[in-house]
Amino acid sequence: MNKLVIEGGVPLKGEITVQGAKNAVLPILAATVLSADECIIHNCPWLRDVEKTGVVLEKLGCMIKREASTLCVDTVGINSCRIDERLMREMRSSIIFLGAILARCGKAEVGMPGGCPIGLRPIDLHLKALRQMGAEIIEEHGYLRCSCKKLKGSCIHLDFPSVGATENIMLAAVTADGTTVITNAAREPEIIDLAIFLNKMGAGVRGAGSSCITIEGVDKLHGAEYRIMPDRIVAQTYLIAAMITGGEIVLRGAEPHHMQAGLSALSEMGAKIRADKGCIYLKSEKKIHSVRIIKTMPYPGFPTDIQSPFMALAAVADGTSVFVENIFENRFRHVDELIRMGADIKVEGRSAVVRGVKGLYGANVEAYELRGGASLVVAALAADGITTVSGTEFIDRGYENIERQLAFCGAKIKRVWT
């Protein structure tokens, strides 16, 4: 076990190169299963979720080799179609292996997924779509047992633009017989990243990034070499960290057009921002303004993943901000911990009213999920005194060496092992 110990009150100043995107690399690693070949993935962040995904691939029979930020995956020797319940419980996103394994092996057996406790994330959309494509799925004893001689293309409408369901359908459809059309598809940049990678493997995916994706099934895929897109959530977290401390930061390797909703909110709250392709500069003014209302929505709306770090920023803003969480019903678990640090937040249902205070103070707090943990780190950087953040295993699921990146910019932060 370890904790982050943070002494607040130091303005961040410096440069950070943004890591590869967690939400892009995981489905791309799942996609490697589709080819009996080697894939080389660059800009692969070393995160707990990536480590667990590597374990899943090895359990399936793949050979994994890592050198710095490059991961080589050789899937020639796949000899299993099963992911045990323990691994699935540790990482909910492992459900995206279902479509890939089924397409490669004609059968799949996976445990019911787990992950961060941020609310219900039903997989019924995944299962409904795979059944439409001809899969037989039995749910029993905590496992999903799926089989299909050959998946068939289908017209699939998603009741909600689920990122995971869109990815699973894409993975299943690329080698299916015929054409698959997904309507009301998720539009996130990570969907585009997956589509580009699949096409480099020989797939026929069109329309990614729009609400209608068309996949022409092909007989087989081959290996490919690819570079993962930058992580837009991590990038915005570091921008918020600089702003809350009254600092100045440059992000290298960022994609500003992936985060327009967040950059707009930061500007509204008083940040001075310059953004060009691959680079974002932010300078914090002395006064942080409240933001009238933030409503989380599917992309290109305000992302749920960055709501909690923005709430930490609003906690020290001048005025009152309102947050409405429309994606996950249990994504305010960080609120009690921010209140422990002196924040004034009232929650009712899926809405939170944040009245800015003059300052936060250090305390012993605990992260209960990934993004909530990031919000506590952000708050601690601005707090008076020392904050100890436990539950770092959640933060490490999505942030690569968060303490080192922040320390490069002057933060007084260290990881202490207990």
Quote the pLDDT of residue 267.
97
Q: 């995916």: which residue's tokens?
A: 205
Q: Is the pLDDT of residue 385 over 60?
A: yes
Quote the pLDDT of residue 44.
97
pLDDT in tens, 337-368: 999 999 999 999 999 999 999 999 999 999 99
Quote the pLDDT of residue 1.
82
Residue scoring higher pLDDT (125 or 141): 125
Tokens of 220: 């087989």
**What is the average pLDDT across 148-166?**
95
Q: Is the pLDDT of residue 416 over 90?
A: yes
Q: What is the DSSP letter of 408?
A: H
pLDDT in tens, 195-225: 999 999 999 999 999 999 999 999 999 999 9
Q: How far apart are CA 172 and CA 169, in angstroms?
A: 5
**What is the average pLDDT across 355-382?**
97
Q: Select from 64, 78, 119, 123 the least CA-distant residue to 98.
A: 123
**What is the average pLDDT across 363-389?**
97
pLDDT range class, residue 114, cuts 50, 70, 90: low
CA distances from residue 294 to 310, 320, 334 in whole angstroms, order as listed: 9, 12, 17
Q: Is the pLDDT of residue 286 over 90?
A: no
pLDDT range class, residue 115, cuts 50, 70, 90: very low
> Is pTM beyond 0.85 here?
yes
Catalytic residue set:
116
Please give the mean pLDDT across all residues of the chain.
Answer: 94
**What is the average pLDDT across 6-27?**
97
For the chain, the maximum distance between any two Cα atoms, rounded to a whole number of angstroms, is 63
Q: Is the pLDDT of residue 334 over 50?
A: yes
Q: Is the pLDDT of residue 235 over 90?
A: yes
The percent of residues above 70 in pLDDT, for the chain, comes to: 98
pLDDT in tens, 85-111: 787 777 767 788 999 999 999 999 988
Quote the pLDDT of residue 59.
94
pLDDT range class, residue 270, cuts 50, 70, 90: very high
Quote the pLDDT of residue 123.
86
Q: Is the pLDDT of residue 116 over 60?
A: no
Q: What is the DSSP string of 295-352?
A: EB-STTSB-GGGHHHHHHHHTTSBSEEEEE--S-TT--TTHHHHHHTT-EEEEETTEE
Q: Is the pLDDT of residue 129 over 90?
A: yes
Q: What is the DSSP letter of 141?
A: T
Q: How far apart are CA 397 and CA 370, in angstroms?
A: 7
173: left (phi over 0), alpha (psi -120 to 50) or beta: alpha
Q: How far apart are CA 8 and CA 388, in angstroms?
A: 11
User: Are 133 and 172 spatial neighbours (Cβ–Cβ below 8 Å)?
Assistant: yes
User: Are 88 and 111 spatial neighbours (Cβ–Cβ below 8 Å)?
Assistant: yes
**What is the average pLDDT across 2-6?**
97
Q: Is the pLDDT of residue 78 over 60?
A: yes
For residue 122, whether the previous peptide bond is cis, meaning omega lies within 30 degrees of 0, is: no
